[in-house]
Amino acid sequence: MLSYDGRHLLEVILPSLAGQRFRDFEVVVVDNGSRDDTVSWLGESWPQAQVISLPENVGVTAALNVCAHAGQGELVALFNNDMELEPDCLGELVAALEEHPEAGWAAAKLRDFEQRELLDGAGDVFTWAATGGRRGHGERDRGQYDTPGEIFGACGGAALYRRSVLRLVGDFDEDFFAFYEDVDWNLRAQLAGFSCRYVPTAVAYHMGSATIGRGLSDFTRYHLWRNTLWIIAKDLPAAALVRHAPRLALGQLVNLAVALRDRKLEIWLRAWRDALAGLPQVLRKRRRVQERRRVTLAALEAVVGPDRGP
């Protein structure tokens, strides 16, 4: 797990990890240049945890890659530090990948930490407007998402990956810095022919943006708007760009409308400026992504689309 100034959060998730009924795992905490006493506290209170202490904050995505490369097992679980896991969460994720060898990674069911009857997300979805999100977010959990099955992807805050698939698909894109790096990885993995399992019996409670703060800050808006453009340019096959051009354009017009409504046009323009400046490098990455593509557009259509609910 990744942590930044998060000792108070680790005081919740680490005991929930210690309480897992599945026992065959190691704990690695990557501290992303924290300014609190996280590292010394971990050494005193959790000597069984391996601590990788980065000397400075290198950004969410770069630190997430350190997490993904750490440890020894073939299965790699990534958890945000603002989670609390039910005792069977990890075991259910492991069992799902054991039962479905064709799946490359698995997603937990997330509930709101404070209002536990509410869903935080039942797997991730992605639309042809190039928007990503958590299925069922904010809905009351009535069991409407209790059927396991294939889903577009997993929130990077509570997911289990095969290390072999992480290697084949490649690292989380560090140019994204923060936000949508998991959406980009999910899409690349789908293009490479891997599927993601949604595991409703693997339950975690999410505090929600406990490290970066709640709400749409200028930082959040900028990275979401810029990174969306890079996902379009980098990941979507040419046939998808043609077929779904109207919806992709509409998605960008919606972002512009939101920027105008909220008086954030300067942020929107900066996101576009920087996205275009980074386009040559993005297009070089695109060649590699498309060379690894193993699925047809029809197969991609089956997992990408509007969230129509259960």
The DSSP string of 235-272 is HS-HHHHHHTHHHHHHHHHHHHHHHHHTT-HHHHHHHH
Residue 48: how many CA atoms within 13 Å on its side-chain side? Answer: 7
- Read off the tokens for 307: 């969230």
How much is the pLDDT for 208? 80
Residue 251: closest CA among 203, 306, 198, 200:
306
pTM: 0.94
Domains and CATH numbers, the chain: 72-310 (3.90.550.10)
Kindly state the DSSP code that residue 172 receives in the 8-state scheme: -
User: Looking at 29-33, 98-102, 304-308, which range is the least confident one?
Assistant: 304-308
Rounded Cα–Cα distance for residues 180 and 227 (Å): 7
User: What is the average per-residue pLDDT within 66-86?
Assistant: 96
Residue 209 has pLDDT above 90, yes or no: no
The helix (H) or strand (E) run that includes residue 296 is: none
Rounded Cα–Cα distance for residues 242 and 178 (Å): 28
Cβ distance 191 to 295 under 8 Å?
A: yes
- Read off the tokens for 55: 């000397």
Quickly state the pLDDT bin for 297 (edges 50, 70, 90).
very high
Rounded Cα–Cα distance for residues 10 and 14 (Å): 6
- The amino acid occupying position 13 is I
Mean pLDDT rounded to a whole number for the chain = 95
How much is the pLDDT for 176? 95
Percentage, residues of the chain above pLDDT 90: 94
Cβ distance 229 to 183 under 8 Å?
A: no
Which residue do the tokens 């979401």 mark?
224
Q: What is the pLDDT of residues 221-234, one digit of tens each?
A: 999 999 999 999 99
Q: What is the pLDDT of residues 10-60, one digit of tens each?
A: 999 999 999 999 999 999 999 999 999 999 999 999 999 999 999 999 999
